[in-house]
Chain A
Amino acid sequence: MIDLDFTESLLKHFTHVTKRHHDDCLTLDCGESDVNKLFLHLRDEETFDLLVDLTAIDHGETAEFRFSVVSHLYSRIHRDYLRIHSICEDNESPKFPSVSSIFPAANWHEREAFDMFGIHFSDHPNLKRILMWDEYPYYPLRKDFPLAGIETPLPAADVAEVTNASVDPAPMMGGPFVASSDGTMSESEPRAKDESWTEESEKPS
């Protein structure tokens, strides 16, 4: 477990880093400019040498800082996790320093965050989409993107020409499948939330 001494000495060493209160594991707020230094220090001096996850959050269009990047580190010596939360200062074209030179595992995680949220990781060796195709114009996990999708041409123009197919918004009849966060586990399993509308049931707003 991480003890208080560790946290205090780390906060003394990095004066811009602040502590955030979370019940599960120690969470630190760190600005984008300090991230590389903090990661290097944690990996080499504090034995946090395993990058468990790196992802992003969209706090919504009205938030003061819309995007943040969250990483989880694990130390086999402390036997504990450490979460680092960093705000992206630019809401329009969010940027973030890549940590893939420190943790090679971050390479694909950052590509996924770029693909889904449009966060540009500077100095990334190969920043391109990982799940959607290269020409896809949207970032699907942003709050303003509808689950059903937006009409777009198919990735292959010749196939689209022959089949007359395009990327269409999915019908929401019998869907989407969503999990409720409360209740017992058997109750909170993903269920079909029927968002189709007919003469009897009104269109959900």
Chain B
Amino acid sequence: MTANEVAYNGKVEGDVIVTKADAVINWIRKHSVWPMPMGLACCAIELMASAASRYDISRFGMEVMRFSPRQSDCMIVAGTVTYKMAEVVRRIYDQMGDPKWVVAMGACASTGGMYRSYAVMQGVDTIVPVDVYVSGCPPRPEALLDAMMKLQDKIGRESSVKNLSGVKEAAVAS
């Protein structure tokens, strides 16, 4: 074995890698985040722009936008959540398989934005747990990409079994 060899060498290690389960599981998870575009208003246009060729969200392994909650990991709430729509957002969140994450994209999804009104929910975190908030009205695609990379960091740091909602609820109950 030469001293300057730093990469994995199958002959020396005997085809075995020693690591932590969390490290591997999180590494897999964070590089294949399948987003579910919850496009409710103009932010959805910026969301589409970040998926298109100029900004190209697939550079970070998240281009597989799924319109079925069963197949997605991360709900991007892009737009104004009205009280009438809140029920739908929560039901779709419930239909997503664990583990799952939520990104509140833009001022409206984060806080209600400029809609201080009887019809608009003042932040989607009232009904679903939000992992990353993105500021802007609407945020530029770069801001969304930055948020998604922050989400990747967060996925990389968490314990791979603790983010299951069943575990969370059990932990709260005990």
* Contacts across chains A and B counted by CB atoms under 8 Å: 68
Minimum CB–CB distance from B85 to chain A (whole Å) comes to 10
The verdict on A149 contacting chain B, using a C-beta distance below 8 Å, is: yes
The verdict on B119 contacting chain A, using a C-beta distance below 8 Å, is: yes
Greatest chain A CB density within 10 A among B83, B87, B91, B128 is at B83
The verdict on B122 contacting chain A, using a C-beta distance below 8 Å, is: yes
The answer on a CB contact under 8 Å between A159 and B86 is yes
**Contact A159 B91, CB 8 Å, known A172-B116, A175-B116:** yes
In terms of DSSP, what is the predominant structure of the interface of chain A? loop
The answer on a CB contact under 8 Å between A176 and B87 is no
The answer on a CB contact under 8 Å between B83 and A147 is no
* Binary contact track B116-129/A, C-beta < 8 Å → 1, others 0: 11111110001110
The verdict on A162 contacting chain B, using a C-beta distance below 8 Å, is: yes
In terms of DSSP, what is the predominant structure of the interface of chain B? loop
The answer on a CB contact under 8 Å between A162 and B90 is yes
The verdict on B35 contacting chain A, using a C-beta distance below 8 Å, is: no
The verdict on A174 contacting chain B, using a C-beta distance below 8 Å, is: yes
Question: Complex Cα distance A150/B127, Å?
Answer: 19
Minimum CB–CB distance from B84 to chain A (whole Å) comes to 5
Interface size grouping (class) on chain B: 10 to 19
The verdict on B39 contacting chain A, using a C-beta distance below 8 Å, is: no
The answer on a CB contact under 8 Å between B86 and A132 is no
The answer on a CB contact under 8 Å between B116 and A132 is no
Question: Complex Cα distance A140/B122, Å?
Answer: 17
**Contact A165 B116, CB 8 Å, known A159-B127, A170-B122, A171-B122:** no
**Contact A177 B127, CB 8 Å, known A149-B119, A155-B83, A165-B86:** no
The verdict on B112 contacting chain A, using a C-beta distance below 8 Å, is: yes
The verdict on B149 contacting chain A, using a C-beta distance below 8 Å, is: no
The answer on a CB contact under 8 Å between A145 and B118 is yes
The answer on a CB contact under 8 Å between B114 and A175 is yes
The verdict on A148 contacting chain B, using a C-beta distance below 8 Å, is: yes
**Contact A156 B87, CB 8 Å, known A163-B126, A170-B112:** yes
Question: Complex Cα distance A145/B100, Å?
Answer: 39
* Binary contact track A138-157/B, C-beta < 8 Å → 1, others 0: 10100001111110001110
The answer on a CB contact under 8 Å between B87 and A170 is no
Which residue in chain B gives the minimum CB-CB distance to A150?
Answer: B118
List residues of chain A with CB within 8 A of the CB of B118: 138, 140, 145-150, 167, 169-170
Q: List 17 A-B contacts (CB under 8 A).
A: A132-B119, A133-B84, A149-B118, A154-B83, A154-B87, A156-B87, A163-B90, A165-B121, A168-B122, A170-B112, A170-B116, A171-B116, A172-B116, A175-B114, A175-B116, A176-B116, A177-B116
6 cross-chain pairs, A with B, having the tightest CB-CB distances, nearest first:
A149-B118, A175-B116, A156-B87, A170-B116, A163-B127, A165-B126
